[in-house]
Amino acid sequence: MSVASPPTHTGHFLTRLTIIATLGGLLFGYDTGVISGALLYMKDDLNLSAFGEATVVSSLLFPGAAFGALFGGRVADRIGRKRTLLVCAGLFLVGALGCAVAPNVQIMVAARIVLGLGVGAAAVTCPLYLAEMAPADRRGRMVTINELMIVTGQMLAFATNALLDRLIHDPHVWRTMLAVAAIPAVALLVGMLILPDSPRWYALKGRLPEARNVLALSRTPREAEVEYAMVVEHTSHMLKTTTTPFSVIRDVPWIRRIVLIGCGLAIVQQATGINTVNYYAPTILEQSGLDVSAALVATIAVGVTSVVTTIIGIILLGYIGRRTMLLIGFAGVAASQAALAATFLLPASTTRSYVILACMVLFVGFVQMFIGTCVWLLLSEIFPLSIRGFAMGVAVFILWCTNAVISFLFPLLNNALGSTGTFALFVVVNMASFLFVLRLVPETKGTSLEELEEHLEALGTAARERTAA
């Protein structure tokens, strides 16, 4: 059966909503990427030791983003997706300005933690909001636009670092690099004021007229009525329960299984090692023989690759299932990291530096095209509505904890094992991730969130019965 194209005004509404909401993703990307270039100047200006350098990088991730995700999901369930994104915008603004003016390491770490709270909460709330606002046939595209904005933010961070390094010959240039993030933070704050909350959240809170009105903004009249009836039927029994998310996960086996799979997806996404490149690419290239300015310019290639391959990944999602995308991605990541590990064994030269860059670009391409686009989409889809914000918060908390551990350990592992040994270890980890996806991750393509929840419940019940038999 063909689906009618939405009227022009609904298409415009969804486009405007996607652009504004994904500013959270842009800030996520910029604030995690900008530190790679700022660090080259900051470590002298603030007299950072290797431990201090690792602390400044990882403090945004843990405790900042990790607890921002954990509490952000709970807050999104309680006060709504819209108001949570407004809180995120305020945290982004305060954190960016705090980092830019930090006089010492202690203030810098504190400001990075505030920034991390915004990053973590936005990492949960942006895809959650987009998934609940989107029609089923546009959900994959809308949610993965957030991933595109994340990598665009990282590319902008790399490009801004290189541009400011070229234009401002001052050891304090890192402060300007960090302050730039205040601009999109203000845009997110203003933009979210004009958007409604999601129809699923309104329905969950018993605010059914508002749910109907929001669906009417983004669907044809017939589609809005069909989806409204489905949402009402799905949420009606939830309004009578006072069960906490903790007890639901504890007492309902199929939900517990899905939450564990979500946490596993969060771990394997970060265990690719992608953020070793996002945070340390200039440092790796500088150590391979390039000077600071050349390393910063070369890192732009990583950012451009992320953006281009994410766009390709979004297109591929229209034709290829989520599971298949992930399996291709992990196989490609393991192969490219094996090549990267081998390249570090070559004699030092400028040629070797650019071969290292080429392997890093290939590695980043596989992650962003096949894994980055899929994991955030799956996390926004697989959890049941009654605990969706909370469960996604738990999964993203695990994601950021994994990110923080890897980012903190990478310089230490690099010193202990060398670059070859470190990336060889990542090869083994990504082979294990391939097996995890093959055995446990469900396919979610092509169904509404309500239909998907019913399908996963049936699969979980069937699996439990087979185990009992």
Q: Which pLDDT belongs to residue 109?
A: 94
Q: Once rounded to an integer, what is the mean pLDDT over residues 185-207?
A: 93
19-23, 358-362, 409-413: which has the minimum mean pLDDT?
Answer: 409-413
Q: Once rounded to an integer, what is the mean pLDDT over residues 149-153?
A: 87
Whether 150 contacts 25, CB under 8 Å:
yes
Residue 349 included in any domain = yes
Q: Which pLDDT belongs to residue 4?
A: 43
Comparing 287 with 330, the larger pLDDT belongs to: 330
User: Could you tell me the pLDDT band of residue 422, with boundaries at 50, 70 and 90?
Assistant: confident
Q: Once rounded to an integer, what is the mean pLDDT over residues 376-383?
A: 89
Q: CATH number of the domain that 314 lies in?
A: 1.20.1250.20
Q: Once rounded to an integer, what is the mean pLDDT over residues 339-360?
A: 85
Which range has highest mean pLDDT (1-10, 345-354, 415-424, 426-435)? 426-435
Q: Which pLDDT belongs to residue 102?
A: 92
Average pLDDT of the chain is: 86
Q: Which pLDDT belongs to residue 469?
A: 59
Residue 375 included in any domain = yes
Distances (CA, A) of 9 to 117, 294, 432: 35, 47, 47
Torsion sign over Cα 27, 28, 31, 36: negative
DSSP symbol at 347? P
Looking up tokens 């030092």 gives 348
User: Could you tell me the pLDDT band of residue 3, with boundaries at 50, 70 and 90?
Assistant: very low
Distance CA 101, CA 99 (A): 6
Q: Which pLDDT belongs to residue 2?
A: 38
pLDDT of 6 above 60: no
Is the pTM for the entire model greater than 0.85?
Answer: no
Residue 388 included in any domain = yes
Q: Which pLDDT belongs to residue 449?
A: 78
Q: Once rounded to an integer, what is the mean pLDDT over residues 327-349?
A: 90
Whether 144 contacts 313, CB under 8 Å:
yes
Q: Once rounded to an integer, what is the mean pLDDT over residues 158-176?
A: 87
* Boundaries of domain holding 27: 8-195+241-468
| Tens-digit pLDDT profile for residues 202-221 | 998 889 999 999 999 988 88
pLDDT of 466 above 70: no
pLDDT of 1 above 70: no
Whether 120 contacts 266, CB under 8 Å:
no
Percent of the chain residues past pLDDT 70, beyond the cut: 94
| Tens-digit pLDDT profile for residues 259-314 | 999 999 999 999 898 877 766 777 777 777 777 777 777 777 877 888 899 899 98
| Tens-digit pLDDT profile for residues 47-68 | 888 788 878 887 887 888 889 9
Whether 74 contacts 389, CB under 8 Å:
yes
Distances (CA, A) of 76 to 17, 71, 157, 222, 390: 17, 8, 28, 29, 8
User: Could you tell me the pLDDT band of residue 168, with boundaries at 50, 70 and 90?
Assistant: confident
Residue 205 included in any domain = no
Whether 411 contacts 54, CB under 8 Å:
yes
Residue 231 included in any domain = no
Q: Once rounded to an integer, what is the mean pLDDT over residues 38-47?
A: 84
| Tens-digit pLDDT profile for residues 88-115 | 999 999 999 999 999 999 999 999 999 9
The DSSP secondary structure of 241-265, one letter per residue, reads: ----HHHHHHH-HHHHHHHHHHHHH
HSE (side-chain half, CA atoms, 13 Å) at 319: 4
Residue 154 included in any domain = yes
Residue 230 included in any domain = no
Percent of the chain residues past pLDDT 90, beyond the cut: 37
User: How many domains would you assign to the chain?
Assistant: 1
Residue 236 included in any domain = no
User: Could you tell me the pLDDT band of residue 117, with boundaries at 50, 70 and 90?
Assistant: very high
CB-count exposure of residue 395 (10 Å: 0-12, 13-18, 19+): buried
